[in-house]
Amino acid sequence: MTNRSAEPARRTGDRGRYGRLSRSRVLKTAFDLVDREGLSALSMRKVAAELDVEAMSLYRYANGKDALLDGLVEVLYEHIEQELAHCAPPPATDWQAGLQRIVRATYQVALSHPQMAPLLATRILAVPMARRPQAVLRTHEQVLTLLEQSGLDRQSAVHAYRAVTAWTLGFILTDLQAMVDDPTAPEIGFRLGLQHMSAQETPALRTAAERLAEPGGTLALETGLAALLASYSPTDR
């Protein structure tokens, strides 16, 4: 039996193992935890343990798990903004290149943090627009502004905004879908578990499985987006 009295006590104040707590430190710790162990590992208790404080100490900075999840989305979008800051913006008149730049940055950040990427879609379902973090709203604003600057009327810009969002999130989630069944198997077919799929009932999926297991990449992402945007281009209306 574990002697709990011999275990080091958690700190009850807001000073953890690495110094005084802050909202950014709590979110970074939660972000690192999910990066390592996945979203299912996230809890106030586990984040507190990482910081060597009592779980109650965190409620000053996040009032529960939902607030942590929203904070992770905020950090993700801050990473997207940092990615954009490293890329020279295109000319103000090239609205399609501006959109490609934002979509590409979103994709690259999602692939760098695949455990976090599902939040890009799931928190949109759970959190009303007005309550989303400012970093999220800033990116939404950039996309919609670029579409309006293209010459589209307001309603067409809204339709295009929805289409761009759907394409980006759908592409990311398709690229990150779980495919590997047995990572130790020496042959790709067995790694993907194709022996469990019926050749009679799902022949197309079995044939495409190896290609589906590979990331689509930025070229496929941008080619699809360009085709999508062409249907909304004011010159074609």
CA distances from 189 to 15, 180, 192, 213 (A): 51, 10, 5, 11
Whole-prediction pTM? 0.85
Q: How confident is the model at residue 92 (pLDDT cuts 50, 70, 90)?
A: confident
Q: Give 98-114 pLDDT, tens digit per residue.
A: 999 999 999 999 999 99
Where do the structural domains in the chain lie, given as residue ranges?
Answer: 93-236
Q: Give 113-163 pLDDT, tens digit per residue.
A: 999 999 999 998 999 999 999 999 999 999 999 999 999 999 999 999 999
Please state the rounded mean pLDDT for residues 168-195. 93
In this predicted structure, what is the pLDDT of residue 7? Answer: 46
Q: Which are the contacts of 231, defined by CB distance < 8 A and separation ≥ 6?
A: none
Q: How confident is the model at residue 10 (pLDDT cuts 50, 70, 90)?
A: low
Residue 75 has pLDDT above 90, yes or no: yes
Please give the Cα distance from 218 to 133 (Å, whole number).
Answer: 27
Please state the rounded mean pLDDT for residues 178-191. 92
Q: Supply the mean pLDDT for the chain.
A: 90
Fold (topology level) of 93-236: Tetracycline Repressor; domain 2 (1.10.357)
Q: Give 199-226 pLDDT, tens digit per residue.
A: 999 999 999 999 999 999 999 999 999 9
Residue 176 has pLDDT above 80, yes or no: yes
